[in-house]
Structure 1
Amino acid sequence: MPYLNSPVVPAGTLARMPQPALPAGGGLLLRPWRAEDAPAVYAAFQDPLMHQWHIRSADSEEEVADWITQWQSGWKDERQAQWAVVDADTGELLGRVALREIVLGDGCAEVGYWTVAGARGRGVAASATTALSHWAFEEIGLHRLELSHATANEASCRVAVKAGFAAEGTRRSALLHPDGWHDMHLHARVRGDRASV
């Protein structure tokens, strides 16, 4: 039985091109992950704040190297698109921004991000998320991006709002963290919404 609508974004759109580097505001660059990023990612995941708001830990640089391999293959599979957020001048790793759960046919994906401890409070996550959203809408043609964070994570909520993601509601007891089940705020941005950064 045929569908009544054509895919929002045709299959193969990502796989046909190399993953691009994306300039972002504030002297940031979003670039594809490299194998040599493993030590910096491992160091970032030793931060206790990462353990508070994320469900993953890193036990070794070798484990992180496997993550990076998976992040790289996610582009070819069109399941996810992950970028290192770096200082455009020095190349220093400042964080990560990603499209997860990509469904090209429906024109949607989920945004995720984190920053290293030394980059927090500088607008890195909001600028990176804004740049990624612009690319996803204007270059790829996605229609809707979603973003979730624990309701107690006020810093992440500020990032979402600055990046133009409107609050849509609370998903009760939606994600299991090490300290128990967390309610999650759901934010979304659709094509045409504007960011404040």
Structure 2
Amino acid sequence: MSRTDERPSGPSRRSSVEPQGHGLRLGAWDAESDADVEAWFRGRADPDFRRWNTPMTLDESLEGARESLRQRAESAAEGKTVAFRVTDAESGVTLGQVGLSGIDPYMRRAVVGYWVLPEARGRRIATRALDLAARWAFADLGIHRLELDHVVGHAASCRVAELCGFAYEGTLRGAAFDEGRHDAFRDAHLHARLATDPAPQGI
């Protein structure tokens, strides 16, 4: 049987249930919601976010942020990515974002990333959201290997990865864009968590 004839053993459909736990809820972003657009824009325009992340498209306006959310909805519909708005489970207040990209149903692999709004930092939001998203990816998407990489020197992100059971696997040379540039690169640390790894405790 050729590779193209084989089918992944993981589930072929995604659950419509919003992941919930650790006092958080993960739901879809709404490109037509002004509140969602404003939160997305603020998160990605934050200086600390831009210090460590250089997206392919930098949203320089609210309309640009709205278009980014629309594009992510299209990508999610095609099964390529997942973007979750992280909210407080009780109040519904937006706290940040956690998402999957590079979803490979054949190899059952994906890459996870996250960010937290400035006012929500210092409350272990990223740690709780990452663990919640990882558990969902393993259970609902049938993912076997979930990868996470961050720019070398980003100690806070490294700590989040370790707390969530993402083992450090090495350095990826020139794997990330340099700060604010698409013509220069910097190294990144690679972490990964397998569906068969022990679940982290105490999150």
**TM-score between both structures, scaled by the size of structure 1:** 0.90
How far 1:46 moved relative to its partner?
2.9
Distance apart, 1:122 and its partner CA: 1.1
CA separation in 2, counterparts of 1:142 and 1:75? 16
Shift of 1:24: 2.4
CA shift for structure 1 position 50: 1.1
- CA displacement at 1:158 relative to structure 2: 0.6
Which ranges of 4 or more aligned residues in structure 1 deviate by more than 4 Å?
Answer: none
Provide the TM-score with structure 2 as the length reference: 0.87
Q: Could you tell me which residue of structure 1 aligns to residue 200 of structure 2?
A: 195
Aligned positions of 1:11-160 closer than 5 A: 12-14=12-14, 18=16, 20-25=17-22, 27-35=23-31, 36=33, 37-56=36-55, 57-160=58-161
The answer on whether the counterparts of 1:8 and 1:106 sit within 8 Å (CA) in structure 2 is no
Percent identity between the aligned chains? 35
Total equivalences in the alignment: 192
Tell me the distance in 2 between the aligned counterparts of 1:8 and 1:157: 31
Cα distance in 2, alignment partners of residues 181 and 157 from structure 1: 19
Unaligned runs of 5+ in 1: none
RMSD of Structure 2 on Structure 1 (CA)? 1.8
Offset at residue 101 of structure 1 (A): 0.3
Q: Report the 3-state secondary structure (helix = DSSP H, G, I; strand = E; otherwise coil) of the residue aligned with 1:101.
A: strand
Given that residues 32 and 82 in structure 1 are in contact (C-alpha distance below 8 angstroms), is that contact kept between their aligned partners in structure 2? yes
Note the C-alpha offset of 1:44: 2.1
